[in-house]
Amino acid sequence: MTAIGCKGVGLGLRSPHLREVIRDTPDVPWFEVHICNYMGGGLSRALLAQISERYPLSFHGVNLNLAGVEPLDEGYLKRLKAAVDEFNPALVSEHACFNTHQGQFFHDLMPVPFTDEAVFHLAGRVAQVQELLGRPILIENLSRYFTYDQSEMSEGRFMAAVCEEADCGLLLDLNNAYVNQVNLGEDLNQFIAELPLERVGEIHLAGFTEQNGMLIDTHGAPICDAVWKAYKDFCELRADVPCLIEWDNNLPSLQTLMQQRDVAQGIFDEASGKLTGVVSA
């Protein structure tokens, strides 16, 4: 199978929409899947094969435990490599987080202290994964609800250092950055200014839910105005980065997702037109 690039604005594909996408082949340039749901065989894998015949894919992981301290799960990596080799996705990404500790599986994206020790540890494991897969991966910034006292640097500098050290790409989640700004008082623009923009290989946009005075990154609501603005601002800097609409909880119809996608595509097209001198209709 030939790798086809992810261009423009794609959608996160969730299981309830698989059959509809296969049947109706909606006008979406590419899809991202949570690869953890397709690492066995099974019906889900067979459906993914059908999707991949029509659409470029991005593989997004949530279980690699990249920043964990236990050895990387060889069985998981073997399955991931088999899936990557079979489908040859345009992008492969994971999170800068730990999911497992001392045998306890949290199934959550848990933060780490931003220290030199963490930079080298995480970068070493990213490099290990890249070596095994034979290709670069992107690592994603987190939404966070806790700050470690041990942190020695900002998240922006941490992500930049890991990317440099591991020579990997960056998946920039603007909703996560906005959630961190509101919850933790971290400046979104400063965060972006500290990132190596040339390494950004994908953007994520999503919605949050307000709970007990905090913004929780539930991916369960439309994208808010502030995140749309952040996306517009980013496109002024780089208008060639594939962007993804993520929605997981309270999953709406594919039509609703398409509406969000169309808004993002409009922003992307306008910025691309400005940069190339072509005015979009």
Partner 1 sequence: MKSEQKRASLGQDSAYNCALTAFADAVLEGRDDVAPYTNNYLGVHRMALGNIYLCVKEVLGDGPFAALAGVYVKHFPASQWDVNRYGERFSELLAAQVNGVKADAFDWPAIAALAAIEYAITEQYYADNDLKHGGEPTVIEAEATVQLHQGWIHRLAALHPYADIAARLSFESSVAVWREDLRIKVMPVDLILDTGDGPS
How far is it, in rounded angstroms, from Cα 24 to Cα 52?
Answer: 14
Measured CA angle at 7 (ends 60, 9), to 5 deg: 70
* Shortest Å distance, C-beta 203 to partner 1: 23
Residue 105's beta-bridge partner residues? 100
* Shortest Å distance, C-beta 146 to partner 1: 5
**Total of residues contacting partner 1 (CB under 8 A):** 51
Sole binder of partner 1 in the list 4, 8, 26, 37 (CB under 8 A): 37
**Which CB atom, from 109 or from 244, has the smaller least distance to partner 1?**
109
Region from 6-14, 114-122, 188-196, 227-235 binding partner 1, contact rule CB under 8 A: 114-122
* Shortest Å distance, C-beta 127 to partner 1: 5
Nearest to 227 by CA among 201, 203, 202: 203
Residue 1 engages partner 1 in binding (rule: CB under 8 A): no
H-type helices in the chain, by residue range? 18-24, 42-52, 74-87, 116-133, 155-166, 174-184, 188-194, 225-237, 254-276
Sole binder of partner 1 in the list 52, 58, 63, 265 (CB under 8 A): 63
Residue 127 engages partner 1 in binding (rule: CB under 8 A): yes
273 contacts 280 by C-beta, under 8 angstroms: yes
Residue 181 engages partner 1 in binding (rule: CB under 8 A): no
First to last CA, the chain: 35
Residue 223: strand, helix, or coil: coil
Q: Which residues bind partner 1 (CB under 8 A)?
A: 19, 36-37, 39-47, 63, 65, 68-69, 73, 76, 98-102, 104-108, 110-113, 115-118, 120-121, 123-124, 127, 145-146, 148, 150, 165, 167, 211-212, 214, 216
